[in-house]
């Protein structure tokens, strides 16, 4: 005869809970981080020095061996360039908010995207800079503290380059290395050939040209350049830029003489992607072209490279060489067209998470 002990209901419940494990954690919120290149905090020497040091110390941007580059950077570049760059920034500075236009527009994009995501209450939108403030690390930490266990990174560069998109994501992952419970990450891919982007550019160009009192003989798509060796090693940036221009030309119904591609903002002695914007602008004027317009499809918002380098320097070059009518077509910024691009791509990449 076998004697059995009565089963304790509470003990059985506890044993079952142990076997089943802890209750599944509730899915958290989704963070959406718009990441732009960066901006100095001010136009004086010290904030410019800090910004340029961070930017030009990035091995994705300057691929020279540190033993060669750092003596040049700290011995020559950072003793002279902060003052010159500060003067350039001072010309375009948003005095009302005491910040650069890049920061103003990027913040506005995040605010408008938050409004557009009114139907997605579990998505938290924020914005960060790869260099400068608000830093990528601080915004990533803030999103995690707000309960985000997934983050969608949106590098605001239509055309991919290791010097932009890759380094933005590098910085995000460096930040996550210091967070014990790191969130899952997705990154919006390059959108240089997305129909919504091409449509937005075309509409923006047409609207701006319609407001001018002259008709440009040539419209230049000017992209930020990269050193030619980077492209030779496999960076797809040049191909992406050329495809954007081709699709834009197709959308506008223009030929290869009406819409051309150039590259700007070269730095240092090595060869960069060509044709160069400044050289092209001067040649057009000397060849008898009297009216041109320049658009910057590689920049999501207006910044020092568009407002000052193109809006001032390129205009002066054109006029000094004999040109008469010059127009700079604004970037998409936080316009209706620009926000349509960001929202469409963000919603697509959030699929499955929300």
141 and 47 together in one domain:
yes
Rounded to 10°, the helix 237-252/195-210 angle is 60
Quote the CA–CA distance of 11 and 9 in Å, as a whole number.
6
- Quick check: is 12 in a domain? no
Instruction: Return the exposure string of 34-44: e unless at least 16 CB atoms fall within 10 Å of the residue's CB, then b.
Output: bbbbbbbbbbe
Assign residue 321 the CATH number of its domain: 3.40.50.1400
Residue 269, pLDDT score = 86
- Quick check: is 22 in a domain? no
159 and 228 together in one domain:
no
- Quick check: is 3 in a domain? no
Residue 268, pLDDT score = 85
251 and 211 together in one domain:
yes
279 and 134 together in one domain:
no
Q: Counting Cβ atoms within 10 Å, is residue 223 exposed (0-12), middle (13-18) or buried (19+)?
A: buried
Token duo for residue 136: 């990528």
Can you give the residue range of the structural domain that contains 304? 195-329
168 and 105 together in one domain:
yes
34 and 169 together in one domain:
yes
Q: Is 224 known to sit in a ligand binding site?
A: yes
127 and 149 together in one domain:
yes
33 and 180 together in one domain:
yes
Quote the CA–CA distance of 114 and 146 in Å, as a whole number.
15
Residue 26, pLDDT score = 60
180 and 237 together in one domain:
no
213 and 171 together in one domain:
no
Q: Is 54 known to sit in a ligand binding site?
A: no
202 and 78 together in one domain:
no
- Quick check: is 246 in a domain? yes
- Quick check: is 13 in a domain? no
Total tally of structural domains belonging to the chain: 2
Quote the CA–CA distance of 334 and 136 in Å, as a whole number.
21
- Quick check: is 7 in a domain? no
182 and 36 together in one domain:
yes
- The H or E element containing residue 239 is helix 237-252
- Quick check: is 14 in a domain? no
- Quick check: is 185 in a domain? yes
Distance of CA 177 to the CA centre of its chain: 23
**β pairing state of 291-295 and 325-329:** parallel
Quote the CA–CA distance of 199 and 158 in Å, as a whole number.
13
Q: Taking Cα atoms as reference points, which of 298, 295, 250, 302 lies closest to residue 273?
A: 298
Q: What is the pLDDT along the chain (354 residues), one digit of tens a residue?
A: 444 445 455 554 544 444 444 544 566 999 999 999 999 999 999 999 999 999 999 999 999 999 999 999 999 999 999 999 999 999 999 999 999 999 999 999 999 999 999 999 999 999 999 999 999 999 999 999 999 999 999 999 999 999 999 999 999 999 999 999 999 999 999 999 999 999 999 999 999 999 999 999 999 999 999 999 999 999 999 999 999 999 999 999 999 999 999 999 998 889 999 999 999 999 999 999 999 999 999 999 999 999 999 999 999 999 999 999 999 999 999 999 999 999 999 999 999 999
Give residue for tokens 């930040």.
Answer: 175
């Amino acid at each position: 005869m076998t004697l059995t002990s009565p089963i304790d209901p509470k003990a059985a419940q506890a044993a079952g809970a142990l076997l089943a494990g802890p209750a599944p954690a509730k899915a958290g919120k989704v963070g959406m981080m718009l990441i732009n290149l960066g901006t100095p905090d001010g136009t004086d020497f010290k904030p410019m020095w800090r910004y340029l040091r961070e930017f030009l110390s990035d091995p994705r941007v300057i691929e020279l061996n540190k033993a060669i580059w750092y003596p040049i950077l700290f011995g020559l570049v950072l003793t002279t360039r902060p003052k010159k760059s500060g003067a350039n920034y001072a010309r375009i500075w948003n005095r009302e908010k005491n910040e650069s236009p890049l920061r103003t527009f990027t913040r506005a994009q995040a605010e408008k995207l938050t409004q557009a995501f009114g139907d997605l209450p579990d998505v938290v939108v924020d914005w960060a800079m790869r260099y400068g403030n608000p830093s990528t690390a601080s915004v990533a930490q803030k999103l995690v503290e707000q309960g985000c266990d997934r983050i969608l990174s949106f590098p605001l560069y239509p055309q991919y380059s290791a010097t932009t998109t890759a380094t933005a994501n590098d910085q995000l992952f460096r930040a996550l290395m210091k967070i014990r419970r790191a969130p899952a990450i997705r990154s919006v891919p390059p959108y240089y050939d997305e129909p919504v982007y091409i449509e937005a550019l075309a509409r923006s160009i047409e609207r701006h040209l319609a407001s001018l009192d002259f008709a440009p003989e040539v419209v230049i798509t000017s992209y930020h350049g990269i050193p030619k060796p980077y492209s030779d090693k496999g960076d797809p940036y040049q191909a992406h830029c050329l495809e954007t221009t081709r699709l834009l030309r197709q959308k506008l119904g223009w030929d290869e003489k009406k819409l051309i591609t150039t590259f700007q903002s070269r730095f240092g002695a090595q060869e960069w992607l060509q044709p160069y914007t400044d050289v092209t602008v001067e040649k057009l004027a000397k060849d008898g072209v009297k009216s041109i317009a320049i658009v910057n499809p590689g920049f999501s918002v207006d910044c020092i490279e568009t407002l000052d380098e193109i809006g001032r320097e390129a205009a002066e070059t054109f006029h000094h060489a004999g040109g008469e009518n010059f127009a700079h077509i604004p970037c998409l910024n936080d316009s209706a067209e620009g926000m349509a691009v960001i929202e469409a791509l963000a919603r697509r990449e959030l699929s499955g998470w929300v």
